[in-house]
A = this chain, B = another copy of it.
Amino acid sequence: MTLDPRLDLQLDRFVDVPRRLVWEAWTTPEHLKHWFVPKPWTITDCEIDLRPGGVFRSVMRSPEGQEFPNLGCYLEVVPEERLVWTDALLPGYRPSEKPFFTAFLLLDEENGGTRYRAIALHRDEAGRKQHEEMGFEEGWGTVVTQLVEYIKSSMV
């Protein structure tokens, strides 16, 4: 997959946990809640209908108690390999009011662990910059670390 550095952001990591468990943690609400936002933020609700057109919804809660809902739609679901979703469409593919990005999670088996790539496509440079300033690199990085810790402590 070819990225456009003006518009796209990518996190590329090797993680020493099995690809199967990474996939499961990303696609099961009960797992996802434990690692999906940098602590002490929490996920208070999550809904997943794992098929193209299906809902991917989560609610993030700040330490002060403010809630931020995220609503998106899955586009591609290739088990253990490729998950694509966007907030440019609501579930069922209706165009949304506030499109911001499309995300790809790409997983490959590597040396007994997993090559983990998370990619965000934005519609313009302003969107990419905004996402950078929101802390894409650090936030998504922290979340991968939490994901690995969660898998090791609770899923193996």
Contact = CB atoms under 8 A, between A and B. Distances in A.
Nearest to A76: B52
Interface string A68-97: 000000011000000010101110111111
Contacts of A102: 89, 93-95
A7 B75 contact: no
A19 interface: no
Nearest to A122: B95
Contacts of A127: 95
A20 to B, nearest CB: 24
Interface in A13-53: 52-53
Contacts of A88: 88-89, 95-96, 99
